[in-house]
């Protein structure tokens, strides 16, 4: 699937902070993606190509290590918040509360799972920090869906 992403690295070496305008690359690491998200003003600016690439990067690393149910629990909390925000029961920015769910998942993870749960927690935490409105919240939901889909594609199961 990586052949879909033919972006260049624009001179950035592995592990460097990516430019907001740089084309995503299949060589990007989870840390590259986390730094990219932190540099955005709004999560809504996160492009579809980047969402797909983040999902692929995570899925390749976590596919045979993490059980899908852990990702689905986190995704379920995001979807619940989207539903509550659409009905006016909560503000989109309160998605930041997802961080304690992420911390719990990371803390409960096995020694084998923790090296993958930590960047997942950092990624989704950074993304949640950028949510200010429904457009941002919808982008977070799409990011979460991408993580689950590519995790499953690369061998993730229960």
On the question of pLDDT at 16 being above 50, the answer is no
Residues 6+ apart with CB under 8 A from 14: 27, 29, 32
Worst-scoring range by mean pLDDT, 15-19, 132-136, 153-157? 15-19
On the question of pLDDT at 39 being above 60, the answer is yes
Three-class DSSP category at 66: coil
Three-class DSSP category at 79: helix
| Both tokens assigned to 89 | 């029961």
Res 12: pLDDT: 37
Instruction: Select the more confidently predicted residue: 113 or 142.
Output: 142
| Both tokens assigned to 32 | 């590259």
Q: What is the pTM (predicted TM-score) of this model?
A: 0.80
Residue 67 phi, psi (nearest 5)? -75, 145
On the question of pLDDT at 20 being above 50, the answer is no
| pLDDT band at residue 62 under the 50/70/90 scheme | confident
The residues spanned by each domain of the chain are 2-153
Contact criterion met (CB below 8 Å) for 13 and 106: no
| pLDDT band at residue 33 under the 50/70/90 scheme | very high
């Amino acid at each position: 699937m990586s052949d879909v992403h033919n972006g260049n690295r624009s001179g950035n070496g592995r592990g460097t902070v990516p430019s907001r305008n740089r084309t995503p690359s299949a060589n990007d690491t989870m840390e590259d993606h986390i730094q990219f998200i932190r540099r955005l003003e709004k999560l809504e600016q996160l492009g579809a190509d980047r969402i797909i690439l983040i999902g692929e990067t995570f899925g390749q690393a976590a596919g045979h290590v993490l059980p899908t149910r852990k990702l689905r629990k986190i995704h379920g909390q995001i979807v619940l918040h989207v539903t509550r925000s659409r009905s006016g029961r909560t503000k989109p920015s309160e998605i930041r509360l997802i961080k304690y769910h992420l911390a719990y998942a990371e803390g409960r993870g096995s020694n084998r799972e923790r090296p993958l749960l930590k960047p997942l927690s950092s990624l989704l935490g950074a993304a949640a920090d950028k949510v200010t409105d429904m457009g941002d919240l919808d982008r977070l939901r799409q990011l979460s869906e991408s993580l689950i889909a590519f995790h499953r594609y690369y061998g993730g199961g229960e």
